[in-house]
Copies of this chain bind each other. A is one copy, B any other.
Amino acid sequence: MNDHPNLTGPGLAGTECLVLGAGGFIGLNLCRALSVAGASVRGYGRASAFPGALPPLRWISAEFSDRSMLTDALEGVDTVFHLLGASIPAHAERDPADDLRTNVAASVELLRLCRTAGVRRIVYISSGGTVYGVPRSLPISETHPTDPISAYGIHKLLMEKHLGLQAYRYGMRVMVLRASNPYGPFQIPDRGQGLIATLIQRRLSRRPVEIWGDGRIVRDFLHIDDLVDAMLRAAIYEGSHGVLNVGSGIGRSVLDVVASVDKVLDTKGAEILYRPGRAVDVPANVLDVALTQRELGWVPRTEWMLGLRGTAEWIASTCHPALLTLRSAGPLT
């Protein structure tokens, strides 16, 4: 990984890393990868749904708003991975003022705590799917205007700007990764986020699939292993860019995804329920990842159908033990 000129030699071995939001989908996968890379890992957040999948780490079970626990957790930390607290999409939409008062203010306050603690670097997961708003062209590069059409996207953008301020004013090393839609093992279906996990779960349990709009909106889906790979590289990146897109660079419509899932599960023709389109959904989002490839020496490696199959196997084994037969299915065509 660290043979790229922008990445430091020794990598993450021995580095003290704090993962904020370690109990979630991205956090859990990240903790595992950090552990493999030899980092010393602290996890902060609510309890993980899969504690058995966590690597050896120091776990701090606390709310993000708990300033004294955060201060404690930050002591001696070199690199912070910030995966939580900016906003929850539905809450931000319903009451943006309250989202500012609670989630966003806590996230901004965190930056001051990081400074006080002497944190050297922050890797922040922003939202490549919402900060740009309606795209003027595809794929979307990092210089595209940022006019979100959701309060969630606006608040992510606000955090990006406050992080940029830390870099400019205090010399903190800040990496904003504008991630597309991650999918893969440990993403819990039916939580209102994670189209692929939810589709697979619905198909496996023979429940109808729900789609907002006509299914033609296009999104960029990225396997979690590729996102985590980019995050580890961002943590040792020494180049000049502070904001990078992290996506597959490939656009797929929701109906395409349904078709792919049906192919993996051999469930074609199953029922789809069409719901009204949502005002927060941009018509299309595909990220241009050329800059990221060049700067981080990174490429998304997970082949689409293999990624889906692995995800389906994880959901089947974790959420549907009765369907474990899927594991022994033949190779994909």
Residues of chain A whose beta carbon lies under 8 Å from any beta carbon of chain B = 96-98, 100-101, 104-106, 108-109, 112, 143, 145-151, 154, 157-158, 161-162, 164-165, 168-169, 279
Q: Please, which residues of chain B bring their CB within 8 A of the CB of A108?
A: 96-97, 100
17 contacts between A and B (CB under 8 A): A96-B162, A97-B106, A97-B109, A98-B105, A100-B100, A101-B101, A101-B105, A147-B164, A149-B165, A150-B165, A151-B162, A154-B162, A154-B165, A157-B158, A157-B161, A158-B158, A169-B279
> Are A154 and B161 in touch, CB under 8 angstroms?
yes
A97 to B148: give the CA distance in the assembly, Å: 22
CB-CB under 8 A from A164, the residues of chain B are: 147
Contacts of A106 in B (CB 8 A): 97
Inter-chain contacts of A104 with B (CB < 8 A): 100
Give CA–CA (A150, B166) in the complex, Å. 10
Interface-centre pick from A98, A146, A162 (highest chain B CB count, 10 A): A162
Question: Could you say which of B98, B105, B161, B279 contacts A147, with CB atoms under 8 Å apart?
Answer: B161
Measured CB to CB, the nearest residue on chain B to A109 is B97
In the bound complex, how far is the Cα of B169 from the Cα of A18, in angstroms? Answer: 38
Instruction: Give the chain B neighbours of A151 by CB distance below 8 A.
Output: 162, 165
Shortest CB-to-CB span from A114 to chain B, Å, is 13
Known: A97-B106, A106-B97. A165 touches B148 (CB 8 A): yes
Main SS class of interface, A: helix
**Docked pose: A279 CA to B147 CA in angstroms:** 27
User: Which residue of chain B lies nearest to A110 when distances are taken between CB atoms in the complex?
Assistant: B97
What distance in Å separates the Cβ of A143 from its nearest Cβ neighbour in chain B? 7
Q: What's the Cα separation between A104 and B154 when bound, in Å?
A: 13
Could you tell me the distance between the alpha carbons of A109 and B97 in the complex, rounded to whole angstroms?
6
Give the shortest distance, in Å, between A65 (CB) and chain B (any CB).
11
A100 CA to B154 CA, complexed, in Å: 13
A145 CB contacts on chain B under 8 angstroms: 143
Chain B residue numbers with a CB within 8 Å of A279 are 169
Further 4 A-B residue pairs, CB within 8 A, beyond A100-B101, A101-B105, A148-B165: A97-B105, A97-B109, A154-B158, A157-B158
Say how far A161's CB is from chain B's closest CB, in angstroms: 4
Counting from the closest, the 8 A-B pairs by CB-CB distance are A97-B109, A97-B105, A154-B161, A97-B108, A100-B105, A101-B101, A101-B105, A158-B158
Q: How far is the CB of A107 from the nearest CB of chain B, in Å? A: 8
In angstroms, Cα B157 to Cα A98, docked, is 18
CB distance from A240 to the nearest CB of B (A): 14
Bound-state CA distance A112–B95 (Å) is: 9
Residues B168 and A149 in contact, CB atoms below 8 Å apart: yes
Minimum CB–CB distance for A277 against chain B, Å: 13
- Expressed in whole angstroms, the Cα–Cα distance for A57 and B161 within the complex equals 40
Q: Which residues of B contact A109 (CB under 8 A)?
A: 97
- Bound-state CA distance A147–B176 (Å) is 13
Taken together as a complex, chains A and B put the C-alpha atoms of A148 and B154 apart, in Å, by 15
